Amino acid sequence: MRWSLPLLALVTVTTAGAAAQWHVGFEISTAHYRGSSRDTANSGGPERFRPANATQLSVRLDRAIGRARLGLQARYASVGLAATGPGLTLIDNSTGQLLEAQLLVNFQVAGIGSSGAIRAEVGPSLHLWKSGDELRSRAGAVAAAAYEWPVTNRFSGAIRFEGTISKSWFDAGDLPPEYERQATWRYGVGLGLRYRL
């Protein structure tokens, strides 16, 4: 009985401190894809086949550990296929969906004023691209920079610039023999809202 009150106080303080360290957020972003394949024979067809540009929706959960944050971000987008050439891009947006998971280490680079901050983050990324009935997985890497500012006591806004790279989304038999597979890379910008739990 004499241990009940100190133990209850310790659990309450620890839980309150831990709860204050969690953030949940939502983000909408644009994605611009490059690479994936290239015509090496100048065959007269498209210069490149690549994933089509897309709008992405993301949800993330961050946990502050000292001055850094460890985050998990999940993302969904409808990603089609693009064939590009000089002055012409043909897009089929009915062909694919992307599910993506990122594990991110986030740290402050600079403070702006009394409350805003520029933060950087890096980590691994897993892409699951569903094309027709086939699901393909690609491991990659992500790097991002974000400006965060307070909106209210618990809400903060963020503008985030991101780049990712992975091996080509195409398999060896997907393309004509004159096409060389290349790394797929993506860049984009997103607007997000975070809530401190």
pLDDT digits (tens, 9 = 90+) for 61-107: 999 888 889 999 999 998 888 888 877 778 887 778 899 999 999 98
**pTM, two decimal places:** 0.78
Percent of the residues in the chain that have a pLDDT greater than 90, as a whole number: 45
**Burial class of residue 111 in the structure, from the number of CB atoms within 10 Å of its CB (0-12 exposed, 13-18 middle, 19+ buried):** exposed
Distance CA 135, CA 47 (A): 25
CATH number of 22-196: 2.40.160.20
Distance CA 162, CA 85 (A): 26
38 pLDDT above the threshold of 60: yes
Q: Which residues of 180-193 are buried (b: 16+ CB within 10 A; e: fewer)?
A: ebbebbbebebebe
What are the residue boundaries of the structural domains of the chain, listed by start? 22-196
